């Protein structure tokens, strides 16, 4: 929770100088300029984030056992799970691997073209997501690529990336 507040504050502080650079109301012909709205939003975000940080810190001090109360109430089982069982590093970081795969896929589309990149992506992605049988991987890949290509390029004629 502390990380969240700090990151929010950093976010607001990062954009604040850009907001201040915008033309103020008196510099443009419209009655309210382009600066006003985002500027106030950022200031409010800043104030709320600081308030939230102080509030959570105070709560933490007041009651040691109430640590992460905000998380437990709604975020539920996430924390318990992490400690519960010993997972391999692969399972632990699978979602980040997945995200990396998607980003690489997007780059590959530009390099290789849509169809080959999609082909590779479906294969890799289904393995990352835990498909073990090699035959299934192959079938998914071929059928999936074919289906998507047919649907978007042939039937609908939508420009592909």
Segment 69 to 128, residues that bind another protein, using CB under 8 A: 70-71, 73-75, 78, 81, 87, 91-92, 94-95, 98-99, 102-103, 105-106, 109-110, 118, 121-122, 125-128
Q: Does residue number 160 form part of the binding site for another protein (CB under 8 A)?
A: yes
Residue 130 carries which DSSP code?
T
For the CB of residue 66, give the shortest distance to another protein in the complex, in Å: 15
CA separation for the pair 60, 139 (Å, rounded): 53
Please identify which residue in 16, 52, 104, 108 interacts with another protein, judged by CB under 8 A: 52
**Residue 67 within binding range of another protein, rule CB under 8 A:** no
Cβ 13 to another protein, closest distance in Å?
A: 13
**C-beta atoms surrounding 141 within 10 Å:** 20
Rounded to whole angstroms, the Cα distance separating 59 from 66 reads: 8
Asked if 29 is part of the footprint of another protein (rule: CB under 8 A), the reply reads: yes
Q: DSSP secondary structure string, 42-84?
A: HHHHHHHHHHHHHHHHHHHHH-GGGTTHHHHHHHTTHHHHHHH
The reply on whether position 34 binds another protein by CB under 8 A is yes
Under the binding rule (CB under 8 A), the answer on residue 131 touching another protein is yes
Closest approach, Cβ 64 to another protein, in A, equals 20
Tokens 């504050």 correspond to what residue? 9
> Is residue 13 a contact point for another protein (CB under 8 A)?
no
CB 35 within 8 A of CB 22: yes
User: 3-state DSSP: the chain helix, strand, coil percent, rounded to 5?
Assistant: 80, 0, 20
Q: Is 154 in the site for another protein (CB under 8 A)?
A: yes
Q: How far is the CB of 92 from another protein (least distance, A)?
A: 8
Judged by CB under 8 A, the residue of 30, 80, 84, 135 near another protein is: 30
């Amino acid at each position: 929770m502390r990380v969240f507040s700090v990151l929010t504050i950093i976010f607001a502080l990062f954009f604040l100088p850009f907001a201040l650079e915008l033309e103020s109301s008196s510099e443009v012909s419209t009655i309210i300029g382009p600066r006003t709205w985002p500027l106030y939003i950022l200031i409010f975000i800043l104030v709320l984030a600081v308030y939230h940080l102080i509030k959570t810190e105070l709560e933490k001090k007041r009651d040691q056992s109430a640590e992460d109360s905000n998380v437990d109430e709604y975020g539920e089982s996430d924390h318990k799970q992490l400690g519960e069982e010993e997972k391999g590093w692969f399972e632990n970081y699978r979602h980040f691997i997945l995200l990396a795969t998607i980003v690489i896929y997007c780059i590959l589309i530009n390099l290789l073209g849509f169809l080959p990149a999609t082909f590779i992506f479906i294969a890799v992605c289904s393995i990352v997501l835990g498909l073990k049988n090699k035959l299934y991987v192959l079938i998914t890949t071929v059928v999936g690529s074919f289906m998507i290509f047919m649907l978007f390029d042939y039937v609908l004629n939508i420009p592909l990336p």
